[in-house]
A and B are shown apart, each in its own frame.
Chain A
Amino acid sequence: MVKEVEKAGFPVVILCNLIPVARSVGANKIVPTISIPYPLGDPATSKEEQYKLRRHRVEVALDALTEDIKEQTVFKVKI
């Protein structure tokens, strides 16, 4: 789906857990999430920790929208 969005000219970042899949299907900007059922917040951690992690990863994705990349890139996350 992101390829169609990008084809239409929209800058787009995919946040997902299965990075190798996103790579092989050809997504250009990729930010890793932590799992499949809860991409952006592990229910085993506190609400604060979940929020912090979510905020960080979404911020990485937002900043990735502004990056002028030349090839497929998986952006690094810290938490």
Chain B
Amino acid sequence: MKKAVLYINQFFAGVGGETEADFEPEIREGLVGPALELDKQLQNAEVTHTVICGDNFIGSNQEEAVKRILEGLEGIEFDIFFAGPAFQAGRYGSACGFICRAVREKFGVETVSSMHVENPGVLMFKKELYIAEGGHIAAKMRKDIKKMANIGDKLLAGETMLRAEAEEFFPRGIRHQFWPEEAKPAAIRAVEMLKKKLAGEEYQTELPIPKSDRVEIAKPVVDLSKARIALMNTGGIVPVDNPDKIQSASATRWGKYDISGMDHLESGVFKTIHAGFDPAAADADPNVIMPIDVMRAFEKEGKIGELYKDFYSTVGTGTTEAEARRMAQEIVVHMKEAQVDAVLMVST
């Protein structure tokens, strides 16, 4: 029987939530959390070990975490490596990607993960590993693991992978020789496509061009000492009563909060409502996310012209790209009216 190893975060290992997110990497023999289901679903291998690491630990000490995990894996025999599923959790998704990349490079085994399409890990790693198209929340665990296991079984058996869409993983940008069932030469297929295009009918290109979504770099600030600077954050810093009722996760609302006359953000007056990390530090001192104190100092010293009287807040965890875009567009309207010159965004 071939062997598999699964990487999961501290939450799914049952170690704890955000307060334990600094959990240092550990390799346990046997099945922990999602490893049980993966082992059940996987036909061509058994899961022998579970790697566990806190999302914050690997987020802030990526090289160290990867190094320790690779060292730990050295004595273990395995034929395939899994990570996740990571759903829409950005930190978890990128952690899965970094580990899979390193394991693949060092041990030469295939790696499989699962993420929701909006997980930034997809964009970062889809070319390097098999990322099954996953659900956005942990309720989709069983389905996501099934997909990971299916891909894993095929890889272990050395079977030919069909197109990414058919296997339900994100296209890796790799082209394979492929013999279409009807065995039509390319020229004929191309002319058929062209005829459909001319007739305004739907057709399926054989070579989709990935969309690139870069934004032109804005013109720099000429004179900081005259500039009005606004602060934004996705760390959920709000007045303690959260007047705009911004959601703690999957936010669809944002707020702007007046800081006129304040030389720092006072604990007990402001706090974070972000559900994606341990709030203790930011509640004790909200300036660690919204640095009003140092901005005021720079304003007094004349380094900047003015700190704009409102700062903008929302919560970034689980928030879809579409919602983030809409909220930013709404904020932009306000900033234009307020004649803001430049913006600093603090993201957690």
Contact = CB atoms under 8 A, between A and B. Distances in A.
Interface of A: 1-18, 20-22, 24-26, 28-29, 33-41, 43, 50-51, 54-55, 58-59, 61-63, 65-71
Contacts of A55: 294, 297
Nearest to A43: B281
B293 interface: yes
Contacts of A14: 345-347
B285 interface: yes
A32 to B, nearest CB: 10
B279 interface: yes
Contacts of B344: 12-13, 15, 58, 61-62, 65
A16 B68 CA distance: 24
A18 B94 contact: yes
Contacts of B229: 62, 65
B287 A67 contact: no
Given A1-B324, A54-B294, A37 B347 contact: no
Contacts of A3: 213, 215, 325, 328
A62 B336 CA distance: 19
19 contacts: A6-B218, A9-B218, A12-B342, A14-B346, A15-B345, A15-B347, A18-B91, A26-B213, A26-B214, A26-B215, A33-B346, A35-B60, A40-B288, A41-B285, A41-B288, A43-B280, A59-B298, A61-B344, A65-B220
B222 interface: yes
Contacts of A9: 218-219
Contacts of B304: 62
A28 B215 contact: yes
A5 B282 contact: no
Contacts of B262: none
A62 B215 contact: no
Given A1-B232, A28-B217, A66-B224, A58 B332 contact: no
Contact of B332 (A5, A18, A24, A28): A5
Q: Top 7 closest A-B pairs, CB basis?
A: A4-B328, A38-B281, A16-B347, A1-B328, A41-B288, A37-B277, A8-B332
Given A4-B324, A5-B232, 20 more contacts: A1-B331, A3-B215, A3-B328, A8-B329, A10-B340, A13-B343, A20-B124, A28-B217, A35-B56, A35-B60, A37-B21, A37-B278, A39-B346, A40-B288, A41-B288, A43-B280, A58-B298, A59-B298, A68-B220, A70-B217
Contacts of B291: 40, 54, 58
In the complex, which of the residues B216, B278, B289, B303 has the most CB atoms of chain A within 10 Å of its own CB atom? B289
B289 A17 contact: no
Nearest to A23: B124
Given A10-B342, A17-B348, A22-B347, A51 B294 contact: yes
Contacts of A18: 59, 90-91, 94, 120, 347
B235 interface: yes
B234 interface: yes
A37 B91 CA distance: 12
A17 B221 contact: no
B217 A69 contact: yes
A35 B276 CA distance: 13
A41 B227 CA distance: 26
B186 to A, nearest CB: 33
Interface in B48-99: 55-56, 59-60, 90-91, 94, 98
